[in-house]
Amino acid sequence: MGTKVMVNGLPGKMAIEVAGLIKSGRYFSDKYCGFDLAGYSLTSSDQTEGIAVGASRDVEPIRPDQREDGIRRLKEVYEGRTVLSVDYTTPEAVNGNADFYCRHGLPFVMGTTGGDRAALEARVRDSDVVAVVAPNMAKQIVALQAMFAYAAMTFPGAFEGYTLEVQESHQAGKKDTSGTAKAMVGYFNELGVPFVIEDIIKYRDPVVQERLIGVPKKHLGGHGWHGYVLNTGHGDVEFCFKHNVNGRRVYAEGTLDALRFLQKKVEAGEKGKVYSMIDVLKGE
């Protein structure tokens, strides 16, 4: 019997993408065939009907006022099986959900951005669960971030005297500033560029996204475009970096990689540890 995965945040678009990939069992090869979609999902209070992942409404919503009873039912139904959780809910729910997972012994992948990340990680370390927590689940973008992290550590101050402009564009439903953009700002700060997160230019208006920066119309409801431009004070040198993602598939694939990594840590008996997507990339 496979490992059950409870995808929380259904029927949100990112949660649906991950749940659909798990249910299909067709991610690249058979290396994820051991995952089965759990028939429960932590949802918002207004989710009253069963949730469809594919053709049938076979996922039961667990609303906030039902959580204790819902998790009891889940454990009874899947007794003896490993249950992992994936969180794609809302920034406001991050810390409360992490506390819930820790209290009920549910190892989890936190794909939701926002919340108090330091408190989240401290809560996991004070628990009996293990978790993968990352602001971005796309492996290739995480690898790019790792390159910048290496540069920041190895060549601090290399871009001293430069100015920075950061732009990020996501679908209108994304409330918070991109966690990836925030992390990149930190690397540029270490490279000697003064810049504050509040100066990140954030696009959420579909009209502006399509006409001004060129996001394809069919991807206005799901994309992640980021741009970073460095200039010297006198304007004779410019460095430009960008990574544009259309759709959500790359994040869902990375989430499954994170789940497989988490599964191995659970099987090894690890507890009270927090891992990142860089750890997933390294396979450590």
Give the bridge partners for 240, in sequence order.
229
Provide CB contacts within 8 A for 281, sequence distance 6+. Answer: 139, 142, 143, 146
Residue type, 121: E
- Which residue in 22, 50, 52 sits closest to 37, CA to CA? 22
Active site residue 104: no
* Secondary structure string (H, E, C) spanning 122-175: HHHHCCCCEEEECCCCCHHHHHHHHHHHHHHHHCCCCCCCEEEEEEEEECCCCC
Catalytic residue among 4, 170, 219, 265: 170
Distance of CA 238 to the CA centre of its chain: 31
Catalytic residue among 174, 219, 223, 226: 174
- Taking the C-alpha atoms of residue 104 and residue 70, their distance in angstroms, rounded to an integer, is 11
Active site residue 170: yes
- Taking the C-alpha atoms of residue 282 and residue 136, their distance in angstroms, rounded to an integer, is 16
- Taking the C-alpha atoms of residue 213 and residue 128, their distance in angstroms, rounded to an integer, is 46
Catalytic site positions: 170, 174
